[in-house]
Structure 1
Amino acid sequence: MTTKLYNPFLDFKFDNTTCFLTGEKLTSADEKIQVFPVWMMHAFFLEEKPFKMLDESFVTYKQLQLPCSANAALAFEQVESQVERAMQNGYAAVKELSQETLFQWVAKILYGVVFNEIQAGIRQAVMSGEEMNFSQALVHKFRNLHAMLQSIVVPMEFEHKNPFTVQIFEVDNADNTFLYRDEINTLIFSLRMKNFAIIATLQDNGTHAIYHDEVLAKVEGKKLHPVQFEEICARYFYSAYLFNRLPEYTYMETPQKVFVEPMPLNDWTLKPIFDNWVVKTYGQVLENFWKPWGFLLFEIIQNPEKPMSFIEDENGNFRTDIDLTKG
């Protein structure tokens, strides 16, 4: 008997009577879990705050839920309590968490948002009487994300390299900081709170960490000012947009576990893995991430050869003299 993975994308099953993770039939409408951790919603008063959906409508954080069997809910609870303890303790404890645990925690939130977006899309299609138009590239990404998330209930081994990377940074945040971002099309996630921040890239096979190795080396072991972390975040979110591969994975299901192997990202076109970096577009992304400090695009790209940076000075050294009145 082999270990089987559940694929809801085969028949597009996204109802509230089927466990979103395992495909088990649920016996009660109460069998649900929250997309965002309960402890996090309590700590930052998120329950009734608005969460913007892709169709521009709003729901509250508390309304984002997932139909989930008791066994799967218990597995999520175990990961949740482990991550909660670490995050309450701060940077050093979060740094100790395994990449797989952090992936499972992040992927449940990101896929939970995806699940709710799909449900909203299905409802809209039914109301309009039109077929739901869904990008096959996105189905491919979400199917892989869902398959890998099943590692929480199915023994799974990621061979050779992890399909995901979760970077943890020490950041000098204000006490009440909570800043969450995701981009479900490119499967990137960031969170800034307490004295740390994380950036997760969920299907890049580690290429973003290589692409940004220079800036990562500069900030290694440093406590960052929030403006510095937001600069790294802008670089990551922009490069996720430039990433031009649709990663493939092979799943070998055996009686003991599922083996997941990433296929090589190089293809026959010999195109670079990332499209060309355009300074003006990056500047627009950075302007958005730097909104709290009010820097405008024309200031950021005044010198197109060397856009404004709070990470490195004019000599390329790490900046410790953060003066937010000038770049």
Structure 2
Amino acid sequence: MAVQLYKPFERLNFSKQSCFLSGEKLQSTEEEIQVFPLWLMQEYQLQDKPFKLLDESMSTYSHMKLPCSSKVYDDAIEPLEKEIRTAFLTGYDSVIQLPELKLFQWIGKMVYGILFNEIRIGMIQQKAKGEEFIFSQSLVHKFGNLHLMLQSLTQAIVFEGNLPWSIRVFKIDAKQDLFNYRDEINTLTFSIAMKDFGIIACLQDNGTNAIYHKDTLTKINIKPLHPAQFEEVCARFFYSNYLFNRLPEYTVIPTHDTVFIEAMPLMGMSNKPLFDSWLNKTYAQVLENFWKPWGVLLFEILKDPENPMSYLFNENKEFLPAHSVDLPS
């Protein structure tokens, strides 16, 4: 008998009575986990900090939870959290050694946890209005694939060919331990900065954003980045993933003991480029948001509309060392 996969998006099953990952019925309401792991919240005192949801309502980091069976927690979630916690609290040299799959699973679990809570809130609001909950089929497809890949935590899943994601780890030359987290649920884009490292992830692009930014990544290589430089890289990835215009398809082949997942070619039947046109004005608006901690304003970024301001590269497109970054006073 082939491996059985749980598919909550087929029937939009987001009940708190079922394990988010396996679908098995839970024995009590206490079978749940934090979306943001407890160790991370304790490290940066996040528990009661506000977390804005898509409908503009506010929650808190600690209020975001996922129904999870004791078995899934003991066998999959807890061992992953222990490995990630040890590496993250040690810093860049340990994080860079983590397998990409482990980073994908940890990031994906958090992003899916936020998504799960967003969907439940949307369903409750629509029900209160007596209206049917409408879910875009493209998002059902995309989020369903994310959940499928997350089941690599509990199932023997082999990713063949191109990996479904772009994940990059950067060393940050930080004078103090700053924590910064961002996500964009619709595009499945994620970034986190803490200690002396930062991570950027596009969870379902088949590696195309890393290719799109190949020149930037090559120039950075393993050089440490100023925090403002890392945020600039984030802005580039968040914007390019917004421009990414394909809905990836995957061939899924379950066998009696393993599930094989292979990314299908993105070009398909279209000759259209994989990314829509890059507009400097729009990118600058994204960058302004990422540079808010340093108070860099849009008009400064766009003094030269053809060449938006950069802390990564000089006018000759050469990399600027972290120590040479000159921030506004």
Match of 1:42 in 2: 42
Identity %: 54
Match of 2:197 in 1: 196
5+ residue gaps, structure 2, are none
Aligned residues: 326
Match of 2:9 in 1: 9
Q: Does 1:324 align with 2:298?
A: no
On the 8 A contact 1:34/1:62 being kept in 2, the answer is yes
Q: Aligned with 1:146: secondary structure?
A: helix
Q: Structure 1 residues 174, 117: closer, same or farther in 2, change over 3 A?
A: farther
Q: Aligned with 1:200: secondary structure?
A: strand
On the 8 A contact 2:313/2:320 being kept in 1, the answer is yes
Match of 1:71 in 2: 71
On the 8 A contact 1:174/1:194 being kept in 2, the answer is no
> Per-residue displacement from partner, 1:110-146 (whole Å, max 9, x unpaired)?
0000000011011101111101121111111110000
**Equivalent AA in structure 1 for residue 66 of structure 2:** L
Q: Once superposed, what is the RMSD of the aligned Cα atoms?
A: 1.0
On the 8 A contact 1:169/1:223 being kept in 2, the answer is yes
**Equivalent AA in structure 2 for residue 306 of structure 1:** N
Q: Does 1:240 align with 2:241?
A: yes
5+ residue gaps, structure 1, are none
1:58, 1:302 → 2: CA distance?
A: 36
Q: Aligned with 2:96: secondary structure?
A: helix
1:249, 1:242 → 2: CA distance?
A: 21
Match of 1:310 in 2: 311
Shift of 1:228: 0.5
> Per-residue displacement from partner, 1:120-173 (whole Å, max 9, x unpaired)?
011101111101121111111110000000000000000012101210000022
Q: Does 1:167 align with 2:165?
A: no
**Equivalent AA in structure 2 for residue 64 of structure 1:** M
Match of 1:26 in 2: 26
**Equivalent AA in structure 1 for residue 252 of structure 2:** Y
On the 8 A contact 2:174/2:196 being kept in 1, the answer is yes
TM-score where L is the length of structure 2: 0.97
Q: Aligned with 1:96: secondary structure?
A: coil
On the 8 A contact 2:295/2:328 being kept in 1, the answer is no
2:148, 2:72 → 1: CA distance?
A: 14
TM-score where L is the length of structure 1: 0.98
1:274, 1:239 → 2: CA distance?
A: 7
On the 8 A contact 1:17/1:26 being kept in 2, the answer is yes
On the 8 A contact 1:252/1:259 being kept in 2, the answer is yes
Q: Aligned with 2:168: secondary structure?
A: strand
Shift of 1:324: 1.1
2:37, 2:166 → 1: CA distance?
A: 21
1:174, 1:193 → 2: CA distance?
A: 11
**Equivalent AA in structure 1 for residue 320 of structure 2:** R
**Equivalent AA in structure 1 for residue 202 of structure 2:** T
**Equivalent AA in structure 1 for residue 141 of structure 2:** H
Shift of 1:229: 0.5
On the 8 A contact 1:280/1:301 being kept in 2, the answer is yes
2:90, 2:153 → 1: CA distance?
A: 23
Shift of 1:296: 1.4
1:126, 1:315 → 2: CA distance?
A: 57
Match of 1:259 in 2: 260
1:295, 1:155 → 2: CA distance?
A: 47
1:46, 1:197 → 2: CA distance?
A: 18
1:266, 1:195 → 2: CA distance?
A: 38
Alignment of 1:1-327 (within 5 A): 1-74=1-74, 75-320=76-321, 321-325=324-328
> Per-residue displacement from partner, 1:220-248 (whole Å, max 9, x unpaired)?
12110011111100000100110000001
1:141, 1:240 → 2: CA distance?
A: 14
1:272, 1:100 → 2: CA distance?
A: 28
> Per-residue displacement from partner, 1:239-290 (whole Å, max 9, x unpaired)?
0110000001111000121000101000222000000000100011111111
On the 8 A contact 1:158/1:261 being kept in 2, the answer is yes
Shift of 1:174: 4.1
Q: Aligned with 1:222: secondary structure?
A: coil
**Equivalent AA in structure 2 for residue 232 of structure 1:** V
**Equivalent AA in structure 2 for residue 156 of structure 1:** I
Of stretches 314-323 and 254-263 in structure 1, the one that deviates more from structure 2 is 314-323
2:111, 2:16 → 1: CA distance?
A: 18
1:294, 1:63 → 2: CA distance?
A: 31
Which ranges of 4 or more aligned residues in structure 1 deviate by more than 6 Å?
none
